[in-house]
Amino acid sequence: MARKPRQQRAKATVNAIIEASFIAMAEHGPAATTTRQIADIAGVGVGSLYEYFDNKEQIFQVMGERFVADTIALIHPLIPTLVRKPMKDAVRELLQHFRDFLQEDDERYLKCARHAMTLGFEEHMEPLQKALSELVTQYLMHHPETLKIRNIPTMSYIMINGGIFAVVRHLSDPAPPISFDELVEGLATMVGHYTEQEMALAEASASDGQ
């Protein structure tokens, strides 16, 4: 940021610029979005925009930080409920909440998620990965029998990121071959079957060792 806002009015201006950036990016895409478009939507002069941001790339960076922060704010309140549910039910509920989150405010986050790589959102994903790891850890604590699953960090990473990509891809498809409910049920079943299989293998191995 060219200058960090300190006064309330300055913070409001920066917030208006970020909100306008989501609108402009959703309408034009990252490459075609300009600081002039952003300033016009925000109702500020281009000069005022450049007081806080050197270029649109800096604005995209703050957008990425906000996207991650808002996603974490979605997850944290759900953790106490999710960790007490069976695995498949927890997966279903989390993905449904994520769908609703992406579709809020005229799908602004969904439209941004489609351009996540271009916008550099991946640079800000570490806090989100930590929040998801916390969810997994607390789930394991509430369901100690699942600690028998092998390669928990690896499989959690694959399943979580695969699920996120599948949801974004499905919601971005104007004519998806399956319904969203079918997608969620398929992902929940996949996770559930893997968990059940791993626990059965662990129990069989323990029996053989006796």
59-80 residue pLDDT tens: 988 988 888 899 999 999 999 9
C-alpha 100/C-alpha 92 separation (Å) is 12
Q: So what's the pLDDT on residue 205?
A: 78
Q: What are the pLDDT digits (tens) for 24-64?
A: 988 888 889 999 999 999 999 999 999 999 999 899 889 88
pTM confidence score: 0.84
Residue with token string 């919601």 = 171
C-alpha 139/C-alpha 108 separation (Å) is 30
Q: So what's the pLDDT on residue 3?
A: 60
